[in-house]
Chains A and B, each alone.
Chain A
Amino acid sequence: MAERLSNREGIKGMANPTRYGIERVAYWLQRLSGLGLLAYLIGHIYETSTIVNGKIAWDKMLALTETPQGHIILTIVIGMCVFHTGNGIRLMISESGKGLGKPGQPEYPYKASSLNYKQRLCIWVSIALAALAMMYGAAVLFGD
């Protein structure tokens, strides 16, 4: 009831990457990749802990993960990791006030200086690097 009265969009609004350009898509992908990587970290810590239970336990775990499905998941993780890193570095630089342009007298049509080609380029480069890393990772994993 309170949420309806406050007229907040809720998770639907926060998680909607459309309507506002590539920067909003990058925000959504950064969140998604962050959650995905955290889930992978927890799984990876558990997976690697089987080494202390001996060779048989380790090989059993490998049989579970060294499968086509496991490799697909790992390929996606590689993509998420590269995008999260690239976009994260862009965010760290921007959030220190660099690469945003200079404040000045706004002129019609009032294009925002902070949403400039440098930001968009970095986002696309992060996406491209993630795609390349995924292709390379898939080649290594499936080529073995």
Chain B
Amino acid sequence: MATVEIPKEQKAEVPSFSSPATDKPTTITLRIARSNPSEGTLTKFDEFKIPVQKWTTVLEAILYVKQNFDHSVAVRYSCRQASCGSCGMKINGKPSLACYTKISELDSNIITVEPMNNFPIIRDLTVDFKQLFSTHKKMKPFVISEESEITSGTKESIQTPKDLEKFLQFSYCIKCGLCNSACPTMSTDSSFIGPQGLTQAYRYVADNRDKGTKERLKIVDQSHGIWRCHFAGSCSHVCPKGVDPAMAIQMLRGYLLGFGK
């Protein structure tokens, strides 16, 4: 595939998607970052002209490239409906889910897709989630309770709708990693727990069935823990599920400062 570098300074036109479904699709330029760290290749951009319609998502555009131009583009995806969190990537400079971002929302006919920042690149758009998963595990993401074993006489854990509401939104995390990619602290601090881990720590601290608050607070109360968050809010800005990691982190901090209960 011959590639032509379009200078970044070139003003990207806003394509018109006002034509009805039966009309001809619009054409946009999709720039995909290509790299293979295992072979030591530096990142370069391949460009493809893609026909899109009003509802075409970035993921569909990438899969169109794979089907018609270059099947070697490495991209991770699964559910195509913002449930699995697999297709996180940087789209026009902002971390987003490719399946959840429509081309028409981006107001540009040049779409640049790159791998998410702050995650090691495996190839092209695919990144390594090892650190996210290991940090998540460190937060002990399970209910800690002496009564977790079912024996005779065990009763169910009582949880009112009000109790559930205190942590429910934080349990909707799909581990897409967009928050970690957007976080300014994670740009430089490789030891920082990250918004995802801290949010999950709070999810369990706020759960009335959990008795492991002290353990979790000890884990997050370290020099590269919760105190390296400065409420820039970028994590909440990019979260596709409304988890609002920034809220969870500040509320967890309130616990540590003695304000929470």
Contact = CB atoms under 8 A, between A and B. Distances in A.
Q: In the complex they form, do A and B come into direct contact, defined as C-beta atoms under 8 angstroms apart?
A: yes
Interface in B204-261: 206, 230-234, 236-244, 246-248, 250-251, 253-255, 257, 259-260
Contact of A110 (B118, B121, B242): B242
11 contacts: A8-B118, A12-B187, A14-B187, A21-B234, A26-B232, A27-B230, A30-B230, A98-B259, A103-B170, A110-B241, A114-B236
A30 B116 CA distance: 26
Interface stretch (A38-46, A66-74, A89-97, A125-133): A89-97
Contacts of A91: 230-231
B196 interface: no
Contacts of B242: 106-108, 110-112
B120 interface: yes
Interface residues of A, number: 42
Interface of A: 4-14, 19-21, 23-24, 26-27, 30-31, 91, 94-98, 100-108, 110-115, 119
Nearest to A90: B231
Contacts of B121: 5, 7
Given A95-B254, A97-B260, 14 more contacts: A6-B120, A7-B118, A14-B187, A20-B233, A20-B237, A96-B253, A96-B257, A97-B259, A103-B251, A104-B165, A112-B242, A113-B244, A114-B246, A115-B233
A8 B236 contact: no
Interface of B: 37, 93-94, 115-121, 127, 165-170, 172, 182, 184-188, 190, 206, 230-234, 236-244, 246-248, 250-251, 253-255, 257, 259-260
Contacts of B238: 20
A10 B188 CA distance: 5
B238 to A, nearest CB: 7
Given A8-B187, A23-B234, A24-B184, A110 B239 contact: yes
B169 A103 contact: yes
B259 A96 contact: yes
Give the 6 A-B residue pairs with the shortest CB-CB distance, closest first.
A97-B254, A106-B242, A110-B242, A13-B187, A23-B233, A112-B236
